[in-house]
A and B are shown apart, each in its own frame.
Chain A
Amino acid sequence: DVVMTQSPLSLPVTLGQPASISCRSSQSLVFSDGNTYLNWFHQRPGQAPRRLIYKVSNRDSGVPDRFSGSGSGTVFTLQISRVEAEDVGVYYCTQGTHWPITFGQGTRLEIK
């Protein structure tokens, strides 16, 4: 199985400051069709996950533009340009290039 490794696992951030989460895969996530199936999800306490970004850098409708995704091959990053209070929770990367679909361990973002 493809192992997804996120860092850091805990991310204390001051309001208004930037934040960055890294996600590394144990194999290249480039699929035979040329797409890279790397996605990011956010889960607030007590809620279901919500997709933020799909295929590396495509932001979902309604997701603030302070969120951005980048990367290629095996190294990916989720960046938040200015953290707001509503951004707290756990962020997961997931890959769908290889079966089975696998998730990273999650990164818990908290406000300092």
Chain B
Amino acid sequence: EVQLLESGGALVQPGGSLRLSCAASGLIFTKHAMSWVRQAPGEGLEWVSGIGYSGSTTYYADSVKGRFTISRDSSSNTLYLQMTSLRADDTAVYYCAKDPGGGAFDIWGQGTVVTVSS
């Protein structure tokens, strides 16, 4: 069974940093592109960032460009999202998702909560 398990969410002060992880199992990790999608409290879904299967191509939403960095480690089958200069509007549940292309996220993790507040 394919599973994605996020971790690393926390309460952090504005301007702070946080690294999210997403551990993948049950799939050949190096064959799949991956994305992060977030959902602010009571709001809809927002695509945040994506990375190609090899890690050589990365994509970011304008709202996080220059502040967030996506990466992956094939040795541990883990996807990361390094978040810096965090703002209150980054508060959200962050999901990692397997990305077969075209926004058709077919496998989702359960999400990890990031709260940016003083």
Contact = CB atoms under 8 A, between A and B. Distances in A.
Residue of A60, A96, A101, A103 with highest tally of chain B CB at under 10 A? A101
Contacts of A60: 106
Interface string A34-74: 01010101010000111100110000100000000000000
A110 B41 CA distance: 20
Contact of B104 (A50, A96, A99, A104): A96
Interface residues of B, number: 22
Given A99-B59, A103-B47, A48 B108 contact: yes
A37 B106 contact: no
Nearest to A54: B104
A76 to B, nearest CB: 13
B26 interface: no
Interface residues of A, number: 27
Interface in A1-58: 31, 35, 37, 39, 41, 43, 48-51, 54-55
B95 A100 contact: no
A96 B103 contact: yes
Interface in B44-59: 44-47, 50, 59
Given A37-B104, A96-B103, A100-B62, A48 B47 contact: no
A48 B110 contact: yes
Contacts of A48: 95, 108-111
Contacts of B101: 37, 96
Nearest to A50: B108
* Those 5 A-B pairs whose CB atoms lie nearest each other, nearest first: A96-B103, A37-B102, A96-B102, A54-B104, A101-B47
27 contacts: A31-B102, A41-B105, A43-B45, A48-B95, A48-B111, A49-B37, A49-B45, A49-B95, A49-B105, A49-B108, A54-B102, A54-B106, A55-B104, A92-B44, A94-B45, A96-B103, A96-B104, A97-B102, A99-B59, A101-B35, A101-B47, A101-B103, A103-B44, A103-B45, A103-B47, A105-B44, A106-B44
